[in-house]
Amino acid sequence: MSAISQALSGVKVAEFGAYAAGPHIGKMLATFGATVVHVESRSRPDGFRAEYPPYKDGKPGLDRGGCFAIFNDSKYAVTLDLKNESGVDMAKRLIGWADIVIENMRPEVMSRLGLGYEAARELNPGVVMISSCNMGQTGPRAYTPGFGSQLSALAGFCGLTGSMEGPPQLLYGPYIDFIASSLGAAAVLAGLDRQRRIGQGALIDLAQYESGLMFVASALFDYHKIGAVAERAGNSDPNAAPHDAYPCRAGGWLVLSCWSDDEFRRLADMLGQPGLAADPCFATMEARKINEKDLSALISQWSLSQDAEEAATSLQTARVHAYPVNTIADLFRDPQLLYRHVWRRRRHEVIGDLACYFSSFDLSEVPGDVTGAAPLLGEHNLMVFQDFLGVSDDEYAEYQAKGAFD
């Protein structure tokens, strides 16, 4: 697929981002044809390169990181020392070239460098800049540090996850980063539309913390209307019974739920115990909620003799909500993901064969693609600064001598 046929072909992006929240926005834009330049420095590379495993063969290295590879395919990579006057000068030239600037540094860092939105629009009046950080650019917590796990706790996720008998549970990975970056991509495209219609840009102030609040919407509503504070309930759901994960043969697990009495009757038939649907302990949703532990024990007795995948298929055929719990290995052979070409095999110069994640959506007439594996540190310095920005050989050598690219 040539870039010329993609939806965002010709859109130019300068990405002063690291880890997930900024680079994931850039990855989504690059997947659909935008030219995305990822900016780091040799003295301070992207944290996903330097600090965050896994690494190829378990050996750390700036071009061996799996997390960096996941969030930075289809991009160009350059190095600029933003503590060096010449490096900042070249960064300004990059901002002047770009339609979109992505940054996820702490508030005011870009401004202190002379690269904030006010400076950016002096260089480029139509530029769209998105500043994504933990708390947004303003407020009493704006300057506090944190990662996704802390934000998930602050946004209420952890307080609702786990059982009341134990502590709140941290979610796997920086969950809020991915919510925020998806919203960020939509916001950037809205800004780009404004730029194209009236020639003016915009500053987008994206608070990752606030991005997570929509995922506790029902709990927020209950408190707002009736003062009820939602509590941890393990795998239970107030509107379904059963609603749990059940052990299966060979270490597998099955997740199933019933949201009506009719659905429970179908489950009882599948369990080979149709009488359960008439049992006063289980005949109604209210009764099942009261006797949920006993019901889960009955289902577990059945599930332990079942293959998780086969049981899920049978239950789905009977119109019962059920799926197996996939392991990471299962995701690479899941027939749904394979059918939709979610994994795009590309070759990384250091890591080797790499299964790059494509996208959860595509465009019918102008499909996206993973155009290449993640770049090496500073791999495209010459191409970006000379071919994209028009820097001459002599200028490049002068900038290099002054340490701009360190």
What is the full DSSP assignment across 143-159?
Answer: T----HHHHHHHTTTGG
Domain count, the chain: 2
* Mean local confidence (pLDDT), 331-360: 97
H/E element, 24: helix 21-31
Q: In whole numbers, what is the pLDDT of the chain averaged over residues?
A: 96
In a domain, 15, yes or no: yes
User: Do 70 and 131 have their domain in common?
Assistant: yes
User: Do 160 and 302 have their domain in common?
Assistant: no
pLDDT per residue as tens digits for the range 122-131 = 999 999 999 9
Q: For residue 137, name the pLDDT band (cuts at 50, 70, 90).
A: very high
User: Do 134 and 30 have their domain in common?
Assistant: yes
In a domain, 220, yes or no: no
Q: For residue 3, name the pLDDT band (cuts at 50, 70, 90).
A: very low
- pLDDT surpassing 90 at residue 226: yes
How many helices (H) and strands (E) would you count in the chain?
A: 18, 11
Q: How far is CA 297 from CA 112, 316, 360, in A?
A: 60, 21, 36
In a domain, 238, yes or no: no
* Mean local confidence (pLDDT), 273-292: 98
- pLDDT surpassing 70 at residue 33: yes
Q: What is the CATH number of the domain that holds 279?
A: 3.30.1540.10
User: Do 121 and 186 have their domain in common?
Assistant: yes
The answer to whether the predicted template modeling score (pTM) of the entire model surpasses 0.75 is yes
Question: What is the domain range of residue 18?
Answer: 3-214+340-401
* Beta strands, E only, 221-342: 243-247, 253-257, 321-324
Instruction: Assign residue 218 a region (left: φ > 0; alpha: ψ between -120 and 50; beta: otherwise).
Output: alpha
Q: For residue 22, name the pLDDT band (cuts at 50, 70, 90).
A: very high
Spatial CA neighbour of 76 closest among 26, 22, 25: 26
Final residue of a domain: which of 331, 365, 389? 331
CA 400 to chain CA centroid, Å, is: 35
Final residue of a domain: which of 305, 331, 357? 331
Spatial CA neighbour of 295 closest among 244, 260, 254: 244
Pairing of strands 100-103, 128-133: parallel
* Mean local confidence (pLDDT), 164-183: 90
In a domain, 35, yes or no: yes
In a domain, 227, yes or no: no
Q: What is the pLDDT of residue 4?
A: 53
User: Do 282 and 147 have their domain in common?
Assistant: no
In a domain, 226, yes or no: no
User: Do 37 and 164 have their domain in common?
Assistant: yes
User: Do 322 and 388 have their domain in common?
Assistant: no
User: Do 117 and 55 have their domain in common?
Assistant: yes
Q: What is the pLDDT of residue 173?
A: 82
Q: What is the CATH number of the domain that holds 107?
A: 3.40.50.10540
In a domain, 233, yes or no: no
Q: For residue 148, name the pLDDT band (cuts at 50, 70, 90).
A: confident
- pLDDT surpassing 60 at residue 2: no
Q: Residue 61 in contact with residue 349, Cβ under 8 Å? A: no
Tokens of 70: 């996941």
Residue ranges of alpha helices (H) inside 72-113 are 85-97, 109-112
Q: For residue 154, name the pLDDT band (cuts at 50, 70, 90).
A: very high
Tokens of 205: 């102030």
Q: List 346's β-bridge partners, or say none.
A: 354
Q: For residue 145, name the pLDDT band (cuts at 50, 70, 90).
A: confident
Q: What is the pLDDT of residue 174?
A: 83
In a domain, 355, yes or no: yes
24 vs 185: CA distance, rounded Å: 9
Q: Note if 177 is an active site residue.
A: yes
Spatial CA neighbour of 113 closest among 82, 80, 138: 82
Final residue of a domain: which of 314, 331, 348? 331
Q: What is the pLDDT of residue 324?
A: 98
From 177, 294, 353, 369, the catalytic residue: 177
Query: What does the radius of gyration of the chain's CA atoms come to, in whole angstroms?
Result: 25
- pLDDT surpassing 60 at residue 28: yes
- pLDDT surpassing 80 at residue 356: yes
- pLDDT surpassing 90 at residue 147: no
254 vs 299: CA distance, rounded Å: 10
Give ∠ CA 236-242-245 in degrees, rounded to 5. Answer: 70
User: Do 196 and 248 have their domain in common?
Assistant: no
Give ∠ CA 95-403-400 in degrees, rounded to 5. Answer: 80
* Mean local confidence (pLDDT), 160-173: 91
User: Do 189 and 258 have their domain in common?
Assistant: no
User: Do 104 and 137 have their domain in common?
Assistant: yes
User: Do 45 and 187 have their domain in common?
Assistant: yes
- pLDDT surpassing 80 at residue 1: no
Q: Residue 268 in contact with residue 244, Cβ under 8 Å? A: no
Q: What is the pLDDT of residue 232?
A: 94
Pairing of strands 253-257, 243-247: antiparallel
* Mean local confidence (pLDDT), 182-193: 97
Tokens of 220: 């927020």
* Mean local confidence (pLDDT), 14-26: 96
Tokens of 260: 């009506």
Q: Residue 49 in contact with residue 371, Cβ under 8 Å? A: no
